Amino acid sequence: MKFLAALGDAAILITFAGVGRSSHHAQDNGAVLGTLGTAAPFLIGWFLAALAGGAYRDSAFAGQHASAVTVARGWVPGCLIGCGIRSATEGHLTPPSFVAIALGFNLVLLVAWRALLGAMVGRSPRD
């Protein structure tokens, strides 16, 4: 279950990067490598925050509410870490409008995905 959750989480963040690159007509490094490069700061930020915040503990899959709350708590710092990494690697601050879009768009999709997964699993926590 944890692997499926991580795979779905990563797919959402990679899709966000791909959609963003496509809408801005980005061509650098090709479609696949460019998208992975764009997604990398957010994947790093998310997985650091998710692991620290318990988004992969058994209790995070105890139902819709537990899943949604755990992911929401983790995505805010995860997005900020990702934006920080992005700023550092690009040599300029990430625009606030981008931060807001990245935060909101991915928050909605991650919470919806994990709530669905939590509803399907719906087991009691073991840790």
Angle at 44 between CA 112 and CA 40, to 5 degrees: 90
Residue 56 in any domain: the answer is: yes
In terms of residue numbers, what domain contains 115? 2-121
What's this model's pTM, rounded to 2 decimal places?
0.85
Structure tokens belonging to residue 26: 């980005």
Residue 126 in any domain: the answer is: no
Residue 76 in any domain: the answer is: yes
Residue 127 in any domain: the answer is: no
What is the rounded end-to-end Cα distance, in angstroms, of the chain?
15
Q: What is the pLDDT along the chain (127 residues), one digit of tens a residue?
A: 899 999 999 999 999 998 887 776 666 666 678 788 889 999 999 999 999 999 999 888 888 888 888 998 999 999 999 999 999 998 999 999 999 999 999 999 999 999 888 888 765 444 3
In contact, 50 and 9? CB cutoff 8 Å: yes
Residues 6+ apart with CB under 8 A from 83: 41, 45, 94, 98, 99, 102
How many distinct structural domains can be found in the chain?
A: 1
